[in-house]
Structure formats: structure tokens, C-alpha cells
Amino acid sequence: MAQAPHAPQEPTEGSKPRRGRVGVRVVGRPDSLEQRLYLPEVLRGLGVTMRHFFANVVGRKYTVTVQYPEEKAPYPERFRGLHRLMHREDGSVRCVACMLCPTACPAHCITIVAEDTGDGKEKRPKIFEIDELRCVVCGLCVEACPCDAIRMDTGRHAPAVVHRGDAILGKVDLLKLGGPSQATQGGKGATWREEQ
């Protein structure tokens, strides 16, 4: 706006766009006898809606609705839905409770309590809870996971629940939704490049 102000153009209907640094097009303001007479244009409009109506009745040409509970619109591949926790080969949880997902979560919906796996070397989540009511489905937790443990590719949206507590998914629920992950992991150096 530091430039010189632009004066409004002479309003002529369908004026040609002005060439130059700024192409300005003054919007039209149709004004005609038909319009003043009210009925012709209203009838013409009704014609449009009637065309839609009959096209829909006969061939469902313009219909975009689906009969929801019976028919479901498919979710795309990238759709972010319910979380799930992935498994290792032995079926145990891949997550090592590194807490990157609660750190990255802007809604603070993930609660993890870590525990020793028993040999003192590794960690695993003792508690892994996601409050799906708090979740804003941004996907930052998936991006943050360094172990391919958490994913949001279930293709299911958060279900309706009767009690708020039901919306908190625990480790068991999340593991049930999960599956085995094929990602190789752990100090392979650059060898994974050849494996690819």
C-alpha cells in the first residue's frame, strides 16, 4: 500500500482487465430490464434448480450424498485417523518410551510412563495412553516417532463414546489396532542403503 492509491475504475460491465503491474478487473453490476421485472430472472433461476432436481431424480447426476451408515465414503491413504502402536517380530510393542511423541504433541494428549524391560537395557512403555478427545489429529507424533512405533493410518476416525474415559485408548487398545512393522532399526550404520 505504499504505492500511489488506485482510483476506482469507471464501473462498466465486463470491463477488460487492465494490463500492467496490477491487473485490475472491476466486477460487474448487471442491471437490466429483465432483472427489474423480477419474474423472468426468478423463473430462469427456478429452471436451474429444476434441472438439478430432475437430473437427480432420474440419474442422480448431481447427487453427492451417501447413505452413511450403510455406505461409507472411503478415506484416502494419507488420512490421519485413530492411532495405533506397531509390533516387533515377537509381537511386543515397538515403542521404547522415548517420549518424543508427547513432546511433539501440541495438545498434550499422550501419556507415557516408562519401565525397564527387565534386563535393564531397554525401556518400554508401562502406560501408553492417548486421549482421543484431546487429540487434534495433526500427525506430529507420527512424524516425531524415531522407532516407527506410532502410526495414524488406521483409516478410522475417532469413534463416538458414551463416557469421556472411553476415548482414552490404552496400550492394549492401541496394540490391537497395530500390526507388525518391517522397519529395520538400530545401529545398522549405512548398510540399510544396500538393503533397500
From residue 121, alpha-carbon distances to 148, 153, 165, 173 in Å are 20, 30, 34, 26
Work out how close the CB of 128 gets to other proteins at its nearest, in angstroms, rounded to a whole number. Answer: 14
Inter-residue contact 110 to 141 (CB < 8 Å): yes
User: Which of 25, 60, 61, 156 forms a contact with other proteins (CB under 8 A)?
Assistant: 25
Tell me which residues in 164-183 interact with other proteins (CB under 8 A). 183
Q: Per-residue x/- mask for other proteins, residues 116 to 155, rule CB under 8 A?
A: x--xxxxx------------xxxxx--xx-xxx---x---
58, 59, 64, 163: which one binds other proteins (CB under 8 A): 64
Q: Is residue 33 within the footprint of other proteins (CB under 8 A)?
A: no
Are 105 and 141 spatial neighbours (Cβ–Cβ below 8 Å)?
yes
Q: Smaller CB distance to other proteins: residue 23 or 162? A: 23
Selected from 106, 118, 159, 165, the binder of other proteins by CB under 8 A is: 106
**By CB under 8 A, residue 71 contacts other proteins:** no
Cell numbers placing 141: 507424533
b/e per residue 154-176 (b: at least 16 CB within 10 A): beeeeeeeeeeeebbbebebbbe
User: Could you tell me the smallest distance in angstroms from the CB atom of residue 118 to other proteins?
Assistant: 11
CB of 144 to other proteins, least distance (A): 5
Report the C-alpha gap between 95 and 59 in whole angstroms.
Answer: 51
Assess 189 for contact with other proteins (CB under 8 A): yes
Q: Which helix (H) or strand (E) element contains residue 112?
A: strand 110-116
* Ramachandran angles phi, psi of 59, nearest 5°: -125, 10
